[in-house]
Amino acid sequence: MKNPAVSTLSKEVIIYLSSAFGITMLLFFLDEGYYDFRWMASLGNWMAFAVYFSAIFWGQFGLSRIFPKLLPGAGRIAINILGGATLGFLVVIYMIFIYW
């Protein structure tokens, strides 16, 4: 018998990983100035991608653990995706301005 909490958690992790990947790809598509994926040829850009991807994912996952009962169902996941992406992005920008 499957544990429903484990399958729900793994589904949420997959949702957060895929949304973090999509958001980060969109940011890099727009940010590199070419409006294409030429940035993929540079190893340095992939390292920056990994930093942003990690921050966005952990922001989303962290919000889902902090506010687990905020809204039921898809509304909670949507808020965690948008809020966590914003939180993760702002943390990276903050770290750049503080430690650069």
- List, for residues 70-83, the tens digit of each pLDDT value: 677 778 888 999 99
Name the pTM for this structure: 0.84
Q: What is the pLDDT of residues 37-65, one digit of tens each?
A: 888 888 988 999 999 999 999 999 999 88
The answer to whether the beta carbons of residues 87 and 20 sit under 8 Å apart is no
The answer to whether the beta carbons of residues 84 and 59 sit under 8 Å apart is yes
Residue type, 59: G
* Whole-number average pLDDT of the chain: 87
User: How many residues are given for the chain?
Assistant: 100
The answer to whether the beta carbons of residues 26 and 85 sit under 8 Å apart is no
